Amino acid sequence: MPPMPVPARIAASLLGLAVLAGCSSQPSRPPTADTAAAQARGNAFPASSVTIRALGLVGTPYRYGGNTPESGFDCSGLVTYVFADMLDLRLPRTSRELARVQGPKISAERLSSGDLVFFGSGDEVWHVGIYVGEGRFVHAPSSGGTVRLDALDNPYWQRHYSGAKRVL
Catalytic residues: 75, 127, 139
Q: How far apart are CA 35 and CA 89, in angstroms?
A: 9
Of 122, 67, 46, 129, nearest to 95 by C-alpha is 129
Helix 33-41 and helix 75-87, axial crossing angle in degrees, nearest 10: 90
Neighbouring C-beta atoms of residue 77, cutoff 10 Å:
21
Contact call for residues 62 and 73 (beta carbons, < 8 A): yes
Residue 148 to residues 46, 74, 75, 78, 143, Cα–Cα distance (Å): 21, 12, 11, 11, 13
Q: How far apart are CA 79 and CA 91, in angstroms?
A: 8
Contact call for residues 71 and 63 (beta carbons, < 8 A): yes
